[in-house]
Amino acid sequence: MNETALIIVDVQNDFCDNGSLPVPNAEQIIPGINKIIEYFHSSFLPVYATRDWHPIDHCSFKSNGGLWPMHCVQQTKGSQIHSELLIDSRVTIINKGTDKDKEAYSGFDGTDFSQELRKRNISKVIISGLATDYCINWTTIGALNNGFSATVISDLIRGIDLKPGDCKNAINEMSKSGAKFINSFDDAKIFIG
Ligand code: VGL
Ligand code: ZN
């Protein structure tokens, strides 16, 4: 149990420019994430991408009493992973938020993600993507709660800051829960291993 996996969280059209719930500057992180994906592939390490994957009547939508505009509805263009992200058959997709009655910001909530990681002898995850104050925060804490060590790539996440300070608070929360933080320009070997 000592493999490291990369998790790319929710880099989907609806969270990018022109999407229905755009995260400011989301697209800035794509080139950097692509470099990390290539590093993982060349090291034969596993790569996962989560997708927010809601049915059209999902409880998180304002139309159904939730907090958010309609976003990432299954099978729509908005729910597709951004086309510039290097996703191919080597990347395993994890869908979350599929139960219409349950908000699920964590990739570990209502999925078989932790069993899948354990099956592949993974004990450590490296996390990047969207959004710092929601799915990054909850997925990171979900990983820790499931017994994985978790490292977040600080410069390859972006957040919403619905209330100013939300992203900062999320980073403090992840840190207090035991997450580590690194920068992508550090030698990757520092965080694999
Ligand atoms: C997210 C709000 C609603 C996220 C998902 O991916 O961070 N945020 N659904
Ligand atoms: Zn959502």
The β-bridge relationship of strands 149-158 and 91-96 is unpaired
Residue type, 55: P
Q: Is the CB of 134 under 6 A from ligand 1?
A: yes
Say how many Å lie between the CA of residue 52 and the centre of ligand 2.
5
* Whole-angstrom Cα Rg for the chain: 15
SS (H, E, C) 126-164: EEEEECHHHHHHHHHHHHHHCCCEEEEEEEEEECCCCCC
- pLDDT the model gives residue 27: 98
Burial of 193 (C-beta count, 10 Å sphere; 0-12/13-18/19+):
exposed
- pLDDT the model gives residue 147: 98
Question: Which numbered atom of ligand 1 lies nearest the CA of 136?
Answer: 7
- pLDDT the model gives residue 187: 61
Ligand 1, atom 3, lies closest to the CA of 68
Say how many Å lie between the CA of residue 52 and the centre of ligand 1.
7
Ligand 1, atom 6, lies closest to the CA of 135
Q: Report residues of the chain scoring pLDDT below 70.
A: 1, 187-193
Choose one of 9, 21, 162 to mutate for the ligand 1 pocket test, by most ligand atoms within 8 angstroms of C-beta.
Answer: 21
Q: Is the CB of 106 under 6 A from ligand 1?
A: no
Task: Kindly write down the DSSP assignment for every residue of 35-101, as one continuous string.
Answer: HHHHHHHHTT--EEEEEE-B-TT-TTBGGGTSSB-S--BTTSGGGSBPTTS---TTEEEEEE--STT
pLDDT, tens digit, for every residue of 99-139?
A: 999 999 999 999 999 999 999 999 999 999 999 999 999 99
Q: Return d(Cα 137, Cα 34) in angstroms, integer.
A: 21
Q: Is the CB of 104 under 6 A from ligand 1?
A: no
Positions marked catalytic: 10, 96, 135
